[in-house]
Amino acid sequence: MPTAARPPVPPFTRETAIQKVRLAEDGWNSRTPEKVALAYSEDSRWRNRAEFVTGREAIVGFLSRKWARELDYRLIKELWAHEGRRIAVRFAYEWHDDSGQWYRSYGNENWEFDDEGLMRARHACINDLPIAESDRLYHWPLGRRPDDHPGLTDLGL
């Protein structure tokens, strides 16, 4: 059974790349592994920190473990660059562990898409910074970031 296309599709313009980045942010902020995995090709390959993941089933498992550990997760992504079927983003997300310690995780991702707009490769580099709860910048209700909430650049991140 063929997988449904996920517009916008390559080649990306600045406008469609920004749209793709926001759609990815919205998906990850849903914290629904099965939904998020549908944006990736069946054979998608990931490098996330020191973990290597291949295929949707493995992506669902990875995200399930991630969001069981990274509680109250809120993410902002921002376009860095794009060309053809590739997009580079920078991101920061806030979360806390089960002891209540808050973190801001910063990173960069390089994405490559197939002709249907499914991500076939994702390479992520991420660093975690412990923060005090009073230093948090993301206070919207869990789920999609409101359109009027500042992005990374506006927040000085």
Distances (CA, A) of 141 to 55, 65, 68: 31, 22, 18
14-135 belongs to CATH 3.10.450.50: yes
Average of pLDDT values for 14-36? 98
Q: Could you report the per-residue pLDDT of 84-116, keeping only the tens digit for each?
A: 999 999 999 999 999 999 999 999 999 999 999
Answer yes or no: is pLDDT of 31 > 80.
yes
The string of pLDDT tens digits covering residues 107-148 is 999 999 999 999 999 999 999 999 999 999 999 999 999 999
According to the model, what pLDDT value does residue 1 have? 45
Which pLDDT score, from 0 to 100, does residue 2 have? 54
Whether 83 has a pLDDT exceeding 90, the answer reads yes
Average the pLDDT over 37-61 and give the result: 97
DSSP for 82-151? Answer: EETTEEEEEEEEEEE-TT--EEEEEEEEEEEE-TTS-EEEEEEEEEEEEE-GGG----SPSSSPPTTS--
Q: Considering the chain, what is the average pLDDT of its residues?
A: 97
